[in-house]
Amino acid sequence: MLKTDHVLDAKGLQCPMPIVKTKKKIAELNPGEVLEVLATDKGSKADIKAWAENSGHQYIGTIEEDGVLKHYLRKASREETKEEIKYETVIDNETLKEKLAAKEEMTIIDVREKAEYAFGHIPSAISIPFGELEARIAELKKEDDIYVVCRTGNRSDLACRTLQNAGFQKVTNVVPGMSSWDGEIEKNY
């Protein structure tokens, strides 16, 4: 079971109801929150994906379980659309891949939401959604080499600054991040 902020039950509903309901529901969410849509309409997979891409929300993925389609969407957040990376220590995807191949000792933190992480993450990455970072900061060691990754480099930028303010010295932001990651990935759902 994936933990999400909101669930919409659209089981049994036919086209166009799943997207009509999804549109209504997502308007209630805060930017960056994840919505799980339960549907039985077979066309909803293509429809929800197309709808999300058209409306600027992020389509994370779909799981099929006992004839029920579970679609995961993340509401678009305004700050992510503008590319504003402030934290200076960055590394690109390629260099991180080389470091992984060389088996360098490091900690990779994936600050995306749980559902995004589940649909594909770097195998050794630990999931700490950005919203939980401050509460879970004790799990990290200040002397470790920490690489922070998200989808596009924005949330990880914020996370890097949070860690820096908490006294972490060796923190690097991975840009752009998972949106163009072509290295090894692991899925768990």
Partner 1 sequence: MAEKKKTNIILFSGDYDKAMAAFIIANGAAAYDHDVTVFATFWGLNAFRKENQVPVKKGFLESMFGRMMPRGADKMGLSKMNFAGIGPKLIKKVIKKHNATPLPELIEMAKEQEVNLVACTMTMDLLGLQKEELIDGLQYAGVATYLTEAEEGQVNLFI
Residue numbers annotated as active site: 15
Nearer to partner 1, 44 or 156 (CB): 44
Helix (H) or strand (E) holding 148: strand 146-149
Note whether 42 binds partner 1 by CB under 8 A: no
Nearer to partner 1, 16 or 131 (CB): 16
Interface residue with partner 1, options 6, 13, 29, 106 (CB under 8 A) = 13
Pairing of strands 6-10, 34-39: parallel
C-alpha torsion angle, residues 104, 90, 160, 158 (rounded to 10): -140
Task: Please say whether the beta carbons of 137 and 166 come within 8 A.
Answer: yes
Interface residue with partner 1, options 3, 7, 12, 86 (CB under 8 A) = 12
| CA-based radius of gyration for the chain | 18
Note whether 142 binds partner 1 by CB under 8 A: no
Note whether 172 binds partner 1 by CB under 8 A: no
Note whether 22 binds partner 1 by CB under 8 A: yes
Q: According to CB under 8 A, which residues from 45 to 64 bind partner 1? A: 51, 54-55
Strand partners, 131: none
Task: Please say whether the beta carbons of 169 and 142 come within 8 A.
Answer: yes
Nearer to partner 1, 45 or 170 (CB): 45
The Cα-based distances of 137 to 70, 167, 170 in angstroms read 31, 11, 14
What are the E-state strand segments in 11-145? 34-39, 58-65, 68-74, 90-92, 107-110, 126-127
What secondary structure letter does DSSP report for 133?
T
In the chain, count of helices (H) and strands (E)? 6, 9
Minimum distance from residue 16 beta carbon to partner 1 (Å): 4
Note whether 101 binds partner 1 by CB under 8 A: no
Nearer to partner 1, 11 or 170 (CB): 11
Nearer to partner 1, 49 or 161 (CB): 49
Which listed range, 6-14, 63-71, 166-174, 178-186, lies at the site for partner 1 (CB under 8 A)? 6-14
Total residues at interface with partner 1 (CB under 8 A): 13
- Give the binding site for partner 1 (CB under 8 A): 12-17, 19-20, 22-23, 51, 54-55
